Structure 1
């Protein structure tokens, strides 16, 4: 059986993947969400000509020549506009953010004035009409679309939406991702394993990965190597957009995930791809649900998630495809590659000119999680790539989870 190329596997996984339905979410809970529709400003910002400084609102005609002595007829703090009109020879004490009163067209800063006995002397001439005034709509105008569909909402975008007077936002529903790990050899962290057991880490790592890229993780726990138990877990996950399994995807006597899917009437789309680490990746569909059977090795599971799960989550969230492969100079020699596409864990340095240099770890065993934690990227080596020397350019997939 020929191994499927990585690109073909990715195309099959992403086929027909589109944004999930929208829901309205209060602004306080929108961090990390994706806009399902563009939003327009509901008001001008600022909504009135506003003072940019503490000082005095005056008529420009009165302060072109100095000294100029003006009568102070009122005060305009922020949030409390002056209701009258500024006429010739008059001024209003004004503070930053307050509306500029009718009749005034300039603000002189308080450092250029001397106030006493209900009057203010302007000691430095104004340079132009409109000085120190933010015009109405300077930042944005009512009806402008400032945040388009597909925007990933962070602090800046949420602050802008609030200023646009949106108390909640239309966002794409989070893809629900059910996760279970199979294996009698696995125990939860904090317990005491038997001599023939190991501590399970995949479900914790994958849950964090799913949340990092906008999904909702549902951990179904560790499932024993039992066909009926695995079948029950598959049924329990039926309401999720994605089901992730780890371990049990091969064809050994205790690798039962494929058999459980078959028992539930779910046909396998493909199994085994030309990838290292991650050759035994399995993919199936159960209606609209996508099922990824990830390898049990922790590094393989996360590398496969970076290659296949991240773009799937992005598609379901309505995010555009990411161009996340960059060119990097190789930090050490590499031999010719075989028929599997290699993803080599590497440290990454950034040169003064912004270029990347990637140096692969000498040991690339897929069970070694420490190296993945220390890696900043994955060097991508196509099938049958020739030997390369230090300084040659290679493709680099940056890690950000």
Structure 2
């Protein structure tokens, strides 16, 4: 790729997603399936309910007995959930029945307790007629044997866990979680476990990235800090190339000590792009080496986190089997002007506050320096300013990616 090439955000995202693949299918215990994506259609193993049941606590009757506008009927049996009625009811009889209990033969309606009263002789007074089928749940109303109840691609939520238990799916087919390695680079970095040195920079990128990926169900491995030395970097990169995804923080720009691109090329990696027309996050490398997809992330912490949001998280969610891979975008009204020079799209860290009508108002978190992590920590979302824009005016409607929520959509930003 020519050195001067700057891909648009959309083209770069499309190229990354062209290298996405869903993980192999594995079966995991139902108790561990929350949040995962079902990899095969799940079918019902029975009719549910398995027979006609009562939807209410009440009395099973023959609707014909109440057709004249009511009746007084003796109770001839009592059926609770789990019972198997052995006798049919005949004309002029009723049966006390509990919610979920099977309907006795001969009955075609249920009248709830609160719509009846008991006379002095113990007979049940039904003051009004009811239609056949009243308060009855029919056999197979919830699910039919062999019918697909959960399609491949469904996300496992608590309700889905209940459905899986209902069809006795003790081991759930899901897409394997990708393995991810995170490598920080730079002689200037001070590791968390190092002694305090006021002249060095604390290494925070790998921890922020770790948290971003943990939030979507990934458990990355941190590989530590590699020095700005080609041999040291080569050794560290080789440790990461046996993962599905390798994220390298720093060393991807054009400085004489930025060795990530040349070392990757020397290792046989194919570079697909290394600059994107976006701010922050311009010096982004994307490469592949066998089955490993490699991102050379900018060293500035906010730039690194924005690139993870726009490129890495969508790729990982596709690997997990999700259809909705991109952060949800919502319309907002701008509380102030936002300056912008055309040429690159921009992501501005903003807070979101609803007004009385429910409209979200976006306000800058303050400094938009790509090294200011506090502005990212305060942000509810990223205000998107298109590359063609010459600025946005106060009161205007714009789009914001909600990075503080866990909602996603199928399409990327325009």
Do these two structures clear the TM 0.5 threshold for a shared fold by scoring above it?
Answer: yes
* 180 and 127 in structure 1: CA distance in 2 versus 1, 3 angstrom threshold: same
Structure 2: distance between partners of 1:146 and 1:351: 40
Counterpart of 2:372 in structure 1 is 368
Counterpart of 2:273 in structure 1 is 270
Residue from 7, 10, 13 that aligns with 2:10: 7
Structure 2: distance between partners of 1:221 and 1:133: 63
Structure 1: distance between partners of 2:104 and 2:120: 22
Counterpart of 1:20 in structure 2 is 23
Q: Greater CA deviation, 301-310 or 56-65?
A: 56-65
Q: Greater CA deviation, 244-253 or 323-332?
A: 323-332
Matched, 1:127 2:130: yes
Structure 1: distance between partners of 2:89 and 2:205: 70
The Cα of 1:66 is off from its aligned counterpart by: 4.0
Counterpart of 1:148 in structure 2 is 151
Q: How many residues align?
A: 399
Q: Greater CA deviation, 227-236 or 278-287?
A: 227-236
**CA contact under 8 A between 1:337 and 1:381: conserved in structure 2?**
no
Structure 2: distance between partners of 1:313 and 1:55: 52
Structure 1: distance between partners of 2:44 and 2:401: 38
Structure 1: distance between partners of 2:129 and 2:200: 80
Residue from 31, 36, 55 that aligns with 1:33: 36
Secondary structure of 2:399's aligned partner:
strand
Structure 1: distance between partners of 2:21 and 2:158: 26
Matched, 1:240 2:243: yes
Please list every run of 5 or more consecutive structure 2 residues that lacks an aligned counterpart in the other structure.
Answer: 407-414
Structure 2: distance between partners of 1:11 and 1:220: 28
The Cα of 1:114 is off from its aligned counterpart by: 2.2
Q: Deviations over 1:170-203 (max 9, x none)?
A: 2111122111212333344465421222332222
Secondary structure of 1:385's aligned partner:
coil
Matched, 1:302 2:305: yes
Q: Deviations over 1:258-287 (max 9, x none)?
A: 343234222433222222111211111101
Matched, 1:381 2:381: no
The Cα of 1:164 is off from its aligned counterpart by: 3.5
Aligned 1:211-290 pairs, distance under 5 A = 211-290=214-293
The Cα of 1:248 is off from its aligned counterpart by: 2.0
The Cα of 1:244 is off from its aligned counterpart by: 0.7
**CA contact under 8 A between 1:79 and 1:98: conserved in structure 2?**
yes
* 386 and 62 in structure 1: CA distance in 2 versus 1, 3 angstrom threshold: same
Counterpart of 2:401 in structure 1 is 397
**CA contact under 8 A between 1:175 and 1:214: conserved in structure 2?**
no
The Cα of 1:242 is off from its aligned counterpart by: 0.9
The Cα of 1:123 is off from its aligned counterpart by: 4.1
Aligned 1:73-84 pairs, distance under 5 A = 73=77, 75-84=78-87
The Cα of 1:116 is off from its aligned counterpart by: 7.8
- TM-score of the aligned structures, taking structure 2 as reference length: 0.87
* 67 and 5 in structure 1: CA distance in 2 versus 1, 3 angstrom threshold: closer
Please list every run of 5 or more consecutive structure 1 residues that lacks an aligned counterpart in the other structure.
Answer: none
Q: Deviations over 1:73-121 (max 9, x none)?
A: 3x3221223222222333333211111122222223333142888x542
